[in-house]
A and B are shown apart, each in its own frame.
Chain A
Amino acid sequence: MDFFHQLIQQLINGVSLGSIYALIALGYTMIYGIIKLINFAHGDIYMVGAYLGFFGVTVAGLSIFPALLISMFVTGCLGMVVEKLAYKPLRHAPRISLLITAIGVSFFLEYAGMYFVTATPRTFPDTGLNFAFSVAGFIINGQQVMIFAITIILMALLTYIVQKTKLGKAMRAASFDTETAQLMGIDSDRVISMTFFIGSSLAAAAGVLVGVYYNTIDPLMGIMPGLKAFVAAVLGGIGILPGAVVGGIILGVIEALVAGFLSSTFRDAAAFAILILVLLVKPSGLFGKNTNEKV
């Protein structure tokens, strides 16, 4: 009984953490789908989102929801700018050049961030969500409710955009075959730009939610969640949106279980072990199809 109680409690924690990974992983997977780049800087975009949310609440004195929306918008624009300045000039360069550039952008955001806001962790102010209630003996707190709610809303919105709008169709066409899409009259530069906007604003939302959930933020906070969200994207099948969500949640749950039942120092190792296992057993991920190189 006690074991089951703890198990369910860890599952609740795992799903909230996993929702955050899912939000970041969506951006990773969308960007990879369209320009075949592991955007190493994506985790740092999430960090910028967290800081913008923090300043929205503290400096501008906004309440949490407007701060979240503003952060999502501004971070989305930042994502577009990064793509324009750093990735677009390398559109026809070898993929390794693009990857190295992404590592450069990641460093730049981390340490420019450190220069401007200092390395000292900041504490997120009370957002009025620090209450907890129990359902059938399990503790759920306000932050977790907020994470679930916002994640579901954002995913519904994303599904609508991708499935129903013209932009979504263009995105799907471009990620299937960028060149053909261009021949069919799709402005692929614009589509790539919008993909970065959407992916980055989802990451920003995750950043603000993490700030609210864990209370502290710092300039290097994006490194680990960024890598783990990538693991989630690979786990679900890179380029596949539902895969990213499922991968994120599975990863969050496994981490919570490892932290809860084994030791929290092995938490990070668990994520990487999953990554390597997936890459070796089924590199295309849970939802992916295998493809071979043409000779």
Chain B
Amino acid sequence: MAENKKPLLKTEDVSEVFGGLKAVSDFNFYINRGELIGLIGPNGAGKTTIFNLITGVYIPTTGEILLDGESIVGLKPYEITQRGIARTFQNIRLFSELSVLDNVKIAYHCHVKYGLLETVFRMGRYFGEEDDITEQSLKLLKIFKLSQHAHEVAKNLPYGAQRRLEIARALAAQPKLLLLDEPAAGMNPQETHELMEMIRWIRKQFGLTVLLIEHDMSLVMGICERIYVLEYGVIIAEGTPAEIQNNPEVIRAYLGTEAVN
């Protein structure tokens, strides 16, 4: 197998069984460096389960997950984040009582080098790194149009802003691969459109690879280069947005279970 371009992320026959129920079966997919991939499918198809498998929240019952050619199966979620995968959550999980700025600062955690002694005595690398973190966090907030909210408590933000903050926080972890779980859920068309622009922009700016789950077809079809369609834990189609839109299997899966947005 002489393949010159190794994919950034690759899964090999990944299956996940919950108490006898197969949530994901023989899931095979890959993402090349720099791609923007969509993962769609009806509710309960196993999309979030795949995110949880990639980020180490669940351990696959069988199969391999390779990041840069190395297995990440069995690593703890924080170890996987340290290796360069960051995510957002479908049901927003912000540090809700903390300020917007602190939410982002926390995600710089795995890049901090100062130790406990430097912390306690406030010497060495402490001040330099702390200033850096604050500065970079503020920059991220600016990108996501959250600057004016920097010192507000996260839970008081409007819904759309909370979703943006989740993405900003994930970016602060400085990932190679960004996983977005329904980033446009609950947004109005105007906000969704802005979000689309933002995702495009950050991807170029940070040289990111993005995998996103989304129900909003305008977003998925608008920005994804390749799309995987999942139903009952099985991939039923793969291709460009145009191919997916005309795939009879996909139309059946969607119209059979729920109406297309």
Residues of A within 8 A of B (CB): 295
Output the least CB separation between B170 and chain A (Å).
15
With the chains together, A295 CA to B47 CA distance in Å? 12
Residues of B within 8 A of A (CB): 48, 52, 57, 89
> Dominant SS at the A interface?
loop
Output the least CB separation between B52 and chain A (Å).
6
With the chains together, A223 CA to B72 CA distance in Å? 49
CB-based A-B contact count at 8 angstroms: 4
With the chains together, A295 CA to B181 CA distance in Å? 12
- 4 chain-A/chain-B pairs, Cβ below 8 angstroms: A295-B48, A295-B52, A295-B57, A295-B89
Residues of B within 8 A of A295 (CB): 48, 52, 57, 89
With the chains together, A295 CA to B52 CA distance in Å? 8
Residues of A within 8 A of B89 (CB): 295
Chain B residue at minimal CB-CB distance from A293: B57
With the chains together, A295 CA to B88 CA distance in Å? 11
Q: Which 4 A-B pairs have the closest CB atoms?
A: A295-B57, A295-B52, A295-B89, A295-B48
Output the least CB separation between A281 and chain B (Å).
20
Output the least CB separation between B101 and chain A (Å).
25
Residues of A within 8 A of B52 (CB): 295
Residues of A within 8 A of B57 (CB): 295
Output the least CB separation between A26 and chain B (Å).
29
Chain B residue at minimal CB-CB distance from A289: B19
Output the least CB separation between B238 and chain A (Å).
26
Chain A residue at minimal CB-CB distance from B181: A295
Output the least CB separation between A149 and chain B (Å).
42
With the chains together, A295 CA to B89 CA distance in Å? 8
Chain A residue at minimal CB-CB distance from B51: A295
Output the least CB separation between A272 and chain B (Å).
30
Chain A residue at minimal CB-CB distance from B18: A292
With the chains together, A95 CA to B44 CA distance in Å? 30
Output the least CB separation between B80 and chain A (Å).
14
Residues of A within 8 A of B48 (CB): 295
Output the least CB separation between A284 and chain B (Å).
14
Chain B residue at minimal CB-CB distance from A294: B91
Chain B residue at minimal CB-CB distance from A295: B57
With the chains together, A295 CA to B90 CA distance in Å? 9
Output the least CB separation between A290 and chain B (Å).
10
